[in-house]
């Protein structure tokens, strides 16, 4: 099967449909490439799902005790032009000092 035969039967596809068909046809004919794509996908899953839990703790969960406190902090950070957005340490310290008074 040459390249023009596969295109002639799909002339009715939109340009986006042709691009998708190009990639699907290319992946279908691969042998080593399928294995490499599987390795890439497994690596991405490890990076985005597993590493997230080890290296990126939920700072809002640790800094604030309730959803209303988290929402208030986000609201103040987005609407107050004088403070940098999401300065959690400063917000937590100011909440602690106001509770002590």
Give the pLDDT confidence score for residue 84 in this predicted structure: 56
The answer on 44 and 76 residing in a single domain is: no
Residue 55: CA count within 13 A, CB half-sphere: 7
- Tell me which residue has tokens 């987005």: 78
The answer on 82 and 48 residing in a single domain is: no
The answer on 16 and 34 residing in a single domain is: yes
- Domain coverage including residue 85: 59-100
Does pTM surpass 0.95? no
Domain count, the chain: 2
The answer on 83 and 39 residing in a single domain is: no
The answer on 48 and 9 residing in a single domain is: yes
Q: How far is Cα 25 from Cα 33, in angstroms, rounded to an integer?
A: 12
Per-residue pLDDT reduced to its tens digit, 25-84: 887 888 888 888 889 999 999 888 887 777 777 777 878 888 898 889 889 888 887 755
Q: 91 Cβ partners below 8 Å, 6+ apart?
A: 63, 73, 76, 77
């Amino acid at each position: 099967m040459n390249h023009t035969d596969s295109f002639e039967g799909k002339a009715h596809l939109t340009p986006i449909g042709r691009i998708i068909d190009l990639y699907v046809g290319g992946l279908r004919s691969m042998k080593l490439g399928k294995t490499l794509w599987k390795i890439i996908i497994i690596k991405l899953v490890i990076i985005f799902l597993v590493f997230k839990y080890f290296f990126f703790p939920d700072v809002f969960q640790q800094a604030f005790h309730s959803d209303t406190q988290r929402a208030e902090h986000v609201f103040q950070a987005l609407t107050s032009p004088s403070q940098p957005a999401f300065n959690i340490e400063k917000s937590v310290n100011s909440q602690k000092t106001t509770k002590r008074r």
